[in-house]
Amino acid sequence: MVRQILSTNNMHDAGKRICLNRVGLALVMISFFMAGCTMVKLKQEVKQSLASTVLVGQIATGPSEKGKLVVVAYSLQNGERTVAHYAVLHGAGEYELMVAQGNYYVCAYWDHNSNLIYDMGEPAGQYGEPKLVAAPAGGVVLEINFVVPDAGTAIDLPQGFDISPDKPRKLLSRQAGAMVTLDDARFSAANGSRGFWQPLEFFKEIGGNIYFLEKYDSDKIPILFIHGAAGTPTGWDYLINSLDRERFQPWLFYYPTGVRLKSTAYLLFWKLFNLQLKYRFDTLYITAHSMGGLVARSLIMDYYRATPYIKLFISLATPWGGDRMAEYGVKQSPAVIPSWIDMQPEGDFLQSLYRDKMPAAVSFYMFSGHRGSRNPFTSNNDGTITLASIMDWRPQTEAKMNYVFDEDHTSILNSPAVMTQYNTIINAFAKGTLAEEQAGGYLKIDFSFNYPLEGSRPRPILFLQPDDVVAPAIETHLSPDDSGRRVGPFPVGRYTASLMAAAAKADRHHVPVSITDNETGYLNFTFRPDGMVYGHVVARQDAEDRPAGMPAEQYRPNDRPVVIQKVTLKGTGIESTVRPIEYGAVTPFHPFFLSINFCSKNYFHFFGLPAGEYEVEIHAKGFNPYVKTYVVEPGRPATAKAIELVPLQ
């Protein structure tokens, strides 16, 4: 039934490229009764995904272990263990697990014999104290970090427990940087379609990930390729096979295209975040097709402060102005694919992309085609998207150049003329002839913790505030292994440097530092434990407005802003109230480094708390009061999830 409502224009290599076109969307509207089972399944999928929670964390391991690392979330009822979801990693690092509302144990073990059974002698670790992770009905729970040591460790999972007794045993890594080939079975046209129509099923089985075609090489520039709706990485085979592979290394972002685009952008950021912690690359080019261009721009606009390595962005046939047929589908369809919501021309997502200009440090080029269907009853188009949307004036004003080709929406990926122009741009950038070169320097940062660390070590964040108050602050996330390592490059200039970490306080703050071209400065920090309570407040949204089962609940677009009036904390003989403050030109991290209790916009933070229980009461204009109990243990970071306030009736 899916094939009845998909268009396959100018397909290359027997079905590798599938994208929804305008005819396909019209057929969706006509075929609801024909494809009733598809619509029913989609409706069930979306409902289930909105009630699902993503558990997100990182696993640290001993240096000697190699192989498959299996991460498991399971529940325990009347002595019976039920696996909610599992993921396979090819080493220490990030994971994501999707579960329904409930309480779960999260553990991991080295699967030495790759049988998905926890066997005797396999090193294991478990998230602990409290061991149970509470998953709400929808959203994300962050910072579920723990350690799997080299030696065997007692966990609650019994020896011989079968992780996947009733399902096919899949040992494919869901971790960023997993190695693949372009003909990998995961990249089939059927899976691309499934990612559009059954995004929850796709995410639970395949996930969303950045894949490598070769081992990371620090001497090569990575190019991240992002496909469009119902697509897969195989759509990039012509461009990738035409690259200078001595100079560039292709990275492939593969994701379920039916989910909300803001969620997809955060998933992409999360994967890049972990790759950056591991490899410390300082340059990344992005190439995106169709809807993938919207994902790329969302990534750049929302997370550029943490992704300054993005230097070049090339979009191909991107619907910058949205699609009226998607808007029609949202209004008329009995079941709505969530990404349609973000394709509405006047929708919040599209508008959010243009509220600010693209960072000047990102060079942006537009590629498009004009070969489409021409008749009196349709707007000029490239066979899928109207030219009015592709040529939207807002991105055009920011593009260094807009190249137009005699290609349609799909053939633009398989065009020698496009490839010639594309290679001209990326090769010139690699040589520095087109890039706006900025001199840069580095910093060597030593940091340590003066208390015993249980579980995963905290990951500090470095903030560099330029003396030039007009220039934006630089935010750099560090891994525990970055202590004593050179990081950068950073633009030349004078800065005030500070380091922060969850549940810890640095011995120094606002340290002046100068960054000189090609030189390495030095900073040194020591952390002591600190008791903290903090939160991020959002308005509860109706189900249809929430992201569909992806780890971006905290960062989702929200049509109803929350205006906090006050936040009060009580416990262990302490009572403190914070009210919103405006920073103006002062860095919003200033009170954090000084350990001053504060509230700004929809965030609040309390510092210096002794161990114990605390009651936090939140008052916001137009919302019911909210009360939450926190258990504080200095030096131990808490899991993080958004606090949802209920609007007054």
What average pLDDT does the segment 80-98 reach?
Answer: 94
Instruction: Check whether 5 has a pLDDT greater than 70.
Output: no
Residues of the chain with CATH 3.40.50.1820: 175-431
pLDDT of residue 382: 74
- CATH code of 533-645, in short, is 2.60.40
CA-to-CA separations, 285 to 229, 251, 252, 281, in angstroms, rounded: 21, 10, 12, 11
pLDDT confidence band for 52 (50 / 70 / 90): confident
pLDDT of residue 472: 66
What average pLDDT does the segment 113-119 reach?
Answer: 92
User: pLDDT: is 12 or 55 the higher one?
Assistant: 55
Residues of the chain with CATH 2.60.40.10: 440-529
Highest mean pLDDT among 124-138, 231-245, 414-428: 231-245
pLDDT of residue 311: 94
pLDDT confidence band for 6 (50 / 70 / 90): very low
Instruction: Check whether 450 has a pLDDT greater than 70.
Output: yes
444 close to 478: Cβ distance less than 8 angstroms: no
What average pLDDT does the segment 498-522 reach?
Answer: 87
Q: What is the pLDDT of residues 635-647, one digit of tens each?
A: 888 776 778 888 8
At the fourth CATH level, the homologous superfamily of domain 50-162 is Carboxypeptidase-like, regulatory domain (2.60.40.1120)
pLDDT confidence band for 400 (50 / 70 / 90): confident
Closest C-alpha to 175, from 85, 109, 271: 271
pLDDT of residue 459: 80
CA-to-CA separations, 343 to 23, 83, 193, 380, 389, in angstroms, rounded: 16, 36, 18, 18, 11
- CATH code of 175-431, in short, is 3.40.50.1820
pLDDT of residue 285: 98
Closest C-alpha to 504, from 612, 636, 367: 636
Over the range 133-158, which residues count as b (16 or more CB within 10 Å of their CB) and which as e? bebeebbbbbbbbbbbeeeeeebebe
What average pLDDT does the segment 608-614 reach?
Answer: 93
Instruction: Check whether 1 has a pLDDT greater than 60.
Output: no
Amino acid at 425: I
pLDDT confidence band for 547 (50 / 70 / 90): very low
**Residue % of the chain over a pLDDT of 70:** 85
Closest C-alpha to 342, from 366, 373, 319, 367: 319
Q: What is the pLDDT of residues 351-387, one digit of tens each?
A: 999 989 999 889 999 999 988 776 555 667 777 888 8
pLDDT of residue 457: 73
What average pLDDT does the segment 40-53 reach?
Answer: 79
pLDDT of residue 47: 77
**Dihedral in degrees, nearest 10, Cα atoms 181, 185, 187, 192:** 180
At the fourth CATH level, the homologous superfamily of domain 440-529 is Immunoglobulins (2.60.40.10)
Count CB neighbours of 539 within 10 A.
18
Burial class (CB in 10 A: 0-12, 13-18, 19+), 249: buried
What average pLDDT does the segment 115-130 reach?
Answer: 88
pLDDT of residue 39: 72
Instruction: Check whether 111 has a pLDDT greater than 60.
Output: yes
pLDDT confidence band for 560 (50 / 70 / 90): low
Q: Among the listed ranges 161-175, 336-350, 465-479, 582-596, which one has the minimum average pLDDT value?
A: 582-596
Angle, vertex CA 303, rays to CA 578 and CA 187, nearest 5 = 135
Instruction: Check whether 438 has a pLDDT greater than 60.
Output: no
The residues facing 105 across adjacent strands are 74, 132
Over the range 555-584, which residues count as b (16 or more CB within 10 Å of their CB) and which as e? bbbbeeebebeebbbebeeeebebebeeee
Distance between CA atoms of residues 324 and 388, nearest Å: 11
Residues of the chain with CATH 2.60.40.1120: 50-162
pLDDT of residue 535: 86
Closest C-alpha to 425, from 415, 416, 434, 417: 434
Closest C-alpha to 39, from 193, 197, 195: 197
Give phi and psi for 121, each to the nearest 5: 90, -10
Q: Quick check: helix, strand or coil at residue 168?
A: coil
Q: What is the pLDDT of residues 69-79, one digit of tens each?
A: 999 999 999 98
pLDDT of residue 69: 94
CA-to-CA separations, 403 to 223, 284, 391, in angstroms, rounded: 20, 22, 11
pLDDT confidence band for 586 (50 / 70 / 90): very low
pLDDT of residue 467: 83
Highest mean pLDDT among 10-19, 300-309, 474-483: 300-309
pLDDT of residue 23: 39
Its pTM stands at: 0.79
pLDDT of residue 109: 94
Give phi and psi for 623, each to the nearest 5: -130, 155
Instruction: Check whether 129 has a pLDDT greater than 90.
Output: no
pLDDT of residue 555: 41
- pLDDT, averaged across the chain: 83
